[in-house]
Amino acid sequence: MKKKQIYSVIAIVIVIAIYTYEHYINSEEGAVIIENGKEVKSDTNLYFLPTSTTSQIVHHNNYSLSYSEPHEQAEWVAYELKATHLSATNHKRPYFEIDKAVKSGAAHWRNYKKSGYDRGHLCPAGDRRFTKEAHDETFLTSNISPQEHQFNAGIWNRLEQKVRYWAKKNDGVFVVTGGVLKNGLKTIGDESVSVPDQFYKVILDNNNGKIKVLAFLMNHKDSDLPLYKFVVSIDEVEALTGIDFFPELDDTIENKLEASRSYKSWSF
């Protein structure tokens, strides 16, 4: 065999070896992210987790969720956003991964391809920049919902930024986010991922036992209205979703907080 042919064969073998190794590394990294969802937190009550209407709660390292198989997305994603979590670090955006911790099978990211909708994070990547692992964990398909781009980049983004402001001001808040899931919604993709008509965000601040809450309900379209125009009572969100948001609170406190639409104790 001529030297040129030998060199060509060697070059091909090297390229194949490099590709195989990179594929293996990427698979291993993805597996680490996905397998974390099997770990159950022992202190979930401290996070004021809502009830699940689906009985399918998944605990990842940096957020928890309740997955709705009929709608192929989470009915809620819950996490604590501490002041120390806030970071300006820009991590490289990873590929989306199917969340294998969802026993019924999480939707594939391809459902969103050419759908006209963004893969809208429920736990924002921007809230989890404090480590690359925490950031990348938000790119699981159980943590996304179809969102119109103008909504995702507009009023919804404004609300996410305001939550970060409150997290810094109040030394941390607890956040619950999701789409209002119901029968008859428009769907996308081969797995019929529901497109919510409305999205909600519920925020709780626990300052040494002094608890205050705030709830937002937004139609799935962009708006120039100020954020306080979207404030509703938690009771209203519960009536739409069937979710009990803070069952661990004393009933007297819970009933009073969840009926209130006051936002005077929150700075806008």
Choice among 121, 135, 149, 220 that is catalytic: 121
Residue 153: other Cβ atoms inside 10 A: 14
Residue that the structure tokens 């689906």 belong to: 54
- Between CA 219 and CA 163 the distance in angstroms is 18
- The verdict on whether 71 is a catalytic residue reads no
3-state secondary structure 59-101: ECCCCEEEEEHHHCEEEEEEEEECHHHCCCCCCCCCCCECCCC
- Between CA 128 and CA 64 the distance in angstroms is 13
- DSSP, res 138: T
Q: Which residues participate in catalysis according to the annotation?
A: 121
